[in-house]
Amino acid sequence: MGFPRRSVAAILAAALVAAACNPQELARRAGARTRLSVATGGTGGVYYPYGGAIARVITEHLPGVEATAEVTAASVDNLKLVRDHKSDIAFSLADTLDDAVAGRGAFARKGPVPARVLAVLYDNYTHLVASGSSGVARIADLAGTHVSMGAAGSGTELIATRVLRAAGLEPGRDLTPVSLGVAQSVDALKDGKIDAFFWSGGVPTASVLDLASTPGMSWRLVPTDDALEVLRQTYGRSLYTRLTVPRDAYPGLPADVAVVGVANLLAVHQDMPDQLAYDITRLLFEHQAELVAVHREAANLTPATETTASPAPFHPGAIRYYRERGHWRN
């Protein structure tokens, strides 16, 4: 007998309205390729090559979907792009995500970011790299120096500010802050334009490797773990950990160095369709070897459980993947 003409029109109109609320779903129904933007970081860090590998895995193994890695200022910038639907997948540090979902700091003006997590990727090591001639052997020695705090809008900038304040130093008052990405920071240190730079990244980081491999360059990796307890007291005990940069991570490093650690997460907007979030999470683990081939930090990707420390909820699609494999015990 079929539907009355008016009922069919109403159903079609409702479907179009629902699809219009979700660009990926609209593209799928139209038979077009869904295009995803992966917000990463600068070219000298870990986010960009890792994000490029994820984008390639998605493009090659998820029919009808094409993903592209984008160069950004990293965590803060990335979460704003996801909030504004300008990027679909974002690399972010856990402390930056904590501010984002609470609508604090850099996110206060527009309020909380409706982010959801797909996976915990790896831990970032808070590098404090100083020139050998600077005399900087601990955080407090940065008083009176020129220090790169990381690119504006980066997670490095956030944690650098927190580490300095934990050590009793205020950027702009006790030292001269400079806003540079890691590659630019390395160049500035080589040229004597800055005395030290912060970098929150995986180990090894390509730009720091470049510095360590430069003939005649005297440099030092300064411990940052003396700021850990103050950071935990101020921001909670779950965000920051003590990590060790092994001496074989960079050429010429004379010993292991203890630093502040913070987790990296892969985040998306809460409106991402459940099936797409499920598929992306699945591909991360099914093709992990391909990710590791690009950067060894991908070996630290591990399945999440309900006890995984994340300041934002996990996406329902990701939770479904973990539950199906017995990892989500909730």
Same domain, yes or no: 139 and 54: no
pLDDT above 70 for 127: yes
With respect to residue 330, please indicate whether it lies within any of the assigned structural domains. no
pLDDT one-digit tens code per residue, 202-221? 898 999 999 999 999 999 99
Same domain, yes or no: 80 and 203: no
Question: In terms of residues, how long is the chain?
Answer: 330
pLDDT above 50 for 287: yes
Range of the domain at 271: 5-122+265-324
Distance CA 130, CA 148 (A): 10
pLDDT one-digit tens code per residue, 301-312? 999 876 676 899
With respect to residue 329, please indicate whether it lies within any of the assigned structural domains. no
For the chain, how many structural domains are there in total? 2
Q: What are phi and psi of 35, to 5 degrees?
A: -110, 125
Q: What is the dihedral of CA 300, 309, 263, 287, to 10 degrees?
A: 30
pLDDT above 90 for 94: yes
pLDDT above 60 for 5: no
Which of 263, 287, 304 is the last residue before a domain boundary?
Answer: 263
Same domain, yes or no: 130 and 250: yes
With respect to residue 96, please indicate whether it lies within any of the assigned structural domains. yes
With respect to residue 31, please indicate whether it lies within any of the assigned structural domains. yes
Which of 215, 243, 263 is the last residue before a domain boundary?
Answer: 263
Distance CA 174, CA 202 (A): 28
N-term to C-term CA, the chain: 47
pLDDT, residue 33, reads 84
For residue 129, the number of C-alpha atoms closer than 13 Å in the C-beta half-sphere is 33
Same domain, yes or no: 131 and 250: yes
Radius of gyration of the chain (CA): 22
Same domain, yes or no: 129 and 249: yes
With respect to residue 81, please indicate whether it lies within any of the assigned structural domains. yes
Same domain, yes or no: 255 and 299: no
Which of 216, 237, 263 is the last residue before a domain boundary?
Answer: 263
With respect to residue 155, please indicate whether it lies within any of the assigned structural domains. yes
Same domain, yes or no: 150 and 98: no
Same domain, yes or no: 109 and 134: no
CATH of the domain at 155: 3.40.190.10
With respect to residue 195, please indicate whether it lies within any of the assigned structural domains. yes
Same domain, yes or no: 203 and 244: yes
Same domain, yes or no: 36 and 113: yes
Same domain, yes or no: 117 and 191: no
pLDDT, residue 58, reads 98
Same domain, yes or no: 164 and 229: yes
Global confidence as pTM: 0.83
What average pLDDT does the structure give for the chain?
90
